[in-house]
Amino acid sequence: MSTTNWQAIPNASDHLKWYENKGQLKLNFFLSIVAVGMLLNGYDGSLISGLQASDAWQADVGYPNGVKLGLLNACGSFSGVAVGPIITYIDEHFGRRWGIRFYGVTILLGSIIGCIAGVSGANGYALFCVGRVIIGFGLTSFLMTSLIVVQEISHPRSRSTVAHAWNSWYILGLFIEGWVIFGCVGYMQGSWSWRIPYIIQVGFAVYILVAVQFVPETPRWLFAHGREEEAFQFMVTYHGNGDPQDPLVLFEYEEMKSAITQEKNAKAEKWSTILKGRSNRHRLGLATLMPFLFNMSGASILYTYYTIVFDQVGITNATTQTGIAAGLNGFTWFCQIAAVYTSKFVGRRKIVLFTWPFLLLCLIGLCVSGGVYSNTGEVNTSAGIATVSLVWIYQGFFNFACPIIYPYASEVQTFSMRSKGLLVWNTVYQLQGAYVAWVDAIALDAIGYKYYIVYMPLVVIEFVLVYFFMVETKGYTLEEIALAFDGGSKISLANADVLPSVEHSQRSGESTEEGRREVDDK
């Protein structure tokens, strides 16, 4: 457990109404840029799934199926693997904002190139793949950078909630995409029925490119690069509403200062140092486990190839398919919001362990309903209804765990290894994402419903790994999470003497001003 009770330290946000806390309002604007980026990520992430229901899109890109369809979905992940080390270097040496800028540029270029598919005389499939490769560069850049930014700039009182809500914006993007596809693909004819949904991405990308110019660097990056005064001023402005004597700001700054200074002295940013430490290897192991939970649990089938899943149980109408998907996206968004609220009271590990058995049961059910439809030799409405119901149930439980799975890999890393930890996370995430995007299409085409069986033992293995290796981080500040791994390392305990002076002043009835002076002396 943490050696501090940092939640009890007074802060400007405790007694100001939300509209009075100008620093928090500005900080929320910065975080909203990340939110729009994730919304765009979600919109783009499921766009290909929706376009598969469009006859015009199929014609414009040459009716891809099997290997060609899998490659079209996977090529963005391949480019994501390639760009990962470059983004890690940029995030560490040039600042966190550059990854978000790059994201906006690639979405612009990739969307425009993709929309050229279907033009007379052009190879529609090749053009669309090139566009996906360019967008893949940016998606990886944004994922790696935004996970760091959310953890490093958020107010300590709300860091956990903001981080857990990060993926809910992705689902909101899915929701918007679902209804756009429903309206355009379901009721329009011709190539513009799919080009309009695709070109909508450009507006989001332009906003991100403009808005990110107003976002300052994270205080931890500033401090690590010798800009201590700017780092302190960031916390004063955005965490203390302009008060340089705010007790929580002073505590947070000293904690950050102590941790980063000692990590620098220990050369903790070097791979040789990282790999020597048992707790660091544990952190990297968890960075590989989180994408394993996301990509290899069967969710990829239902996210990327839901049209094929529905086709295999007799639901073939494009309007019906896109309508079901649009409604499902709204449902999963509520599931994620429920998880964000629940995580305030329940630990991360417990939420994952609670949801995973239900995923296994749903996969069994999907296999049974698919088998029933396949073996009846006629249209079986009951099997179709059962499949749709199980898809909703599966996605509900899976999305209840997603707010935990996504930010966890960034949360458990120390500052010095956060970029490198996310490089490991991204490499595994993109390779597995490319594998499932490619192989799922081929396997569904070859063996149909039997493919669900492949994921069943993987879900069991994931449950066992979470049970034995996932570390609970609920209730810690970002720097204190080292306690959960190290059992009280010098870095994690170096700040423990900052808080008692504040707690003592509160217990003895001293004034807040006196408590602030004691913290300042520390």
pLDDT, tens digit (0-9, with 9 covering 90-100), for 98-135: 889 999 999 999 999 988 887 877 788 999 999 999 99
Q: Nearest CA to 401 among 453, 470, 448, 454?
A: 470
pLDDT greater than 80 at residue 501: no
Mean pLDDT along residues 404-412: 89
Look at residue 496 and tell me whether its pLDDT is greater than 90.
Answer: no
Q: What is the pLDDT of residue 185?
A: 80
- Does residue 62 sit in helix, strand or coil? coil
In angstroms, the first-to-last Cα distance of the chain is 23
Per-residue pLDDT, averaged over 191-197, amounts to 89
Angle between helical axes of 66-93 and 415-447 (0-180°, round to 10): 180
Q: What is the pTM of this model?
A: 0.76
Task: Check pLDDT > 80 for residue 91.
Answer: yes
Average pLDDT over residues 338-350: 89
Choice between 301 and 507, residue whose per-residue pLDDT is larger: 301
The proportion of the chain whose per-residue pLDDT surpasses 70, expressed as a percent, equals 91
User: How many CA within 13 A on the CB side of residue 380?
Assistant: 19
Residue 315 CA: distances (Å) to CA of 76, 122, 322, 388, 429: 29, 33, 11, 9, 31
- What CATH number has the domain bearing residue 377? 1.20.1250.20
Q: What is the pLDDT of residue 494?
A: 38
Q: 4-8, 249-253, 258-262, 316-320 — which is least confidently predicted? A: 4-8
Give pLDDT, residue 357: 96
What letter represents residue 196's amino acid? Answer: I
Predicted confidence at residue 490, as pLDDT, reads 38
Whether residue 503 has pLDDT greater than 60: no
Q: What is the largest CA-CA distance in the chain?
A: 81
Does the residue 492 lie in any domain?
Answer: no
70 part of a folded domain: yes
Please say if the pLDDT value at position 522 is more than 80.
no
User: Quick one: what percent of the chain has pLDDT higher than 90?
Assistant: 27
Give me the pLDDT at residue 349, please.
92
Considering the chain, what is the average pLDDT of its residues?
A: 84
Strand, helix or coil for residue 61 = coil
DSSP 83-118: HHHHHHHHHHHT-THHHHHHHHHHHHHHHHHHHTTT
Q: Answer yes or no: are the C-beta atoms of 212 and 107 closer than 8 Å.
A: no
Both structure tokens of 264: 């620098």
Sign of the dihedral defined by the CA atoms of residues 436, 101, 94, 243, in that order: negative
Residue 262 lies in a domain: no
Structure tokens at 170: 């992705």
CA distance linking residue 454 with residue 363, whole number of Å: 10
How wide is the angle at C-alpha 475 spanned by C-alphas 143 and 26, nearest 5°? Answer: 55
Quick one: pLDDT at residue 374? 82
- Round to whole Å and give the CA distance between 140 and 429: 10
Residue-wise pLDDT tens digits, 48-66 = 878 888 888 988 888 888 7
Q: Residue 497: is its pLDDT beyond 60?
A: no
Q: Read off the pLDDT band of 505 (50, 70, 90).
A: very low
Specify the DSSP element, H or E, that contains 405: helix 381-411
For the segment 251-264, the average pLDDT, to the nearest whole number, is 89
Higher-scoring residue by pLDDT: 501, 481: 481
pLDDT higher than 50, residue 492? no
Q: Residue 19's pLDDT is what?
A: 84
Per-residue confidence (pLDDT) for residue 487, from 0 to 100: 56
Q: Is residue 104 part of a domain?
A: yes
The pLDDT confidence band at residue 163, using thresholds 50, 70 and 90, is: confident
Higher pLDDT, 486 or 352: 352
Judged against a pLDDT cut of 50, whether residue 511 lies above it is answered with no
| Residue 9 falls inside a structural domain | no
Average pLDDT over residues 412-418: 87
Residue 363: give the domain boundaries. 14-217+267-484
* Tens-place pLDDT, residues 420-456: 888 999 899 888 888 888 888 888 888 888 999 999 9
What confidence tens digit (pLDDT) does each residue in 372-382 have?
888 875 666 88
Residue 220 one-letter amino acid: R
Q: Is the pLDDT assigned to residue 518 strictly greater than 60?
A: no
Rounded mean pLDDT of 463-472? 94
Domain count, the chain: 1
- 247 occurs within a structural domain: no
The reported pLDDT for the residue numbered 238 is 92
CA distance 442 to 432: 15
Q: Is residue 187 part of a domain?
A: yes
Q: Indicate whether 503 belongs to any domain.
A: no
DSSP state of 231: H
Where does the pLDDT of residue 214 fall: very low under 50, low under 70, confident under 90, or very high at 90 and above? Answer: confident
- Mean pLDDT value of segment 233-237: 94
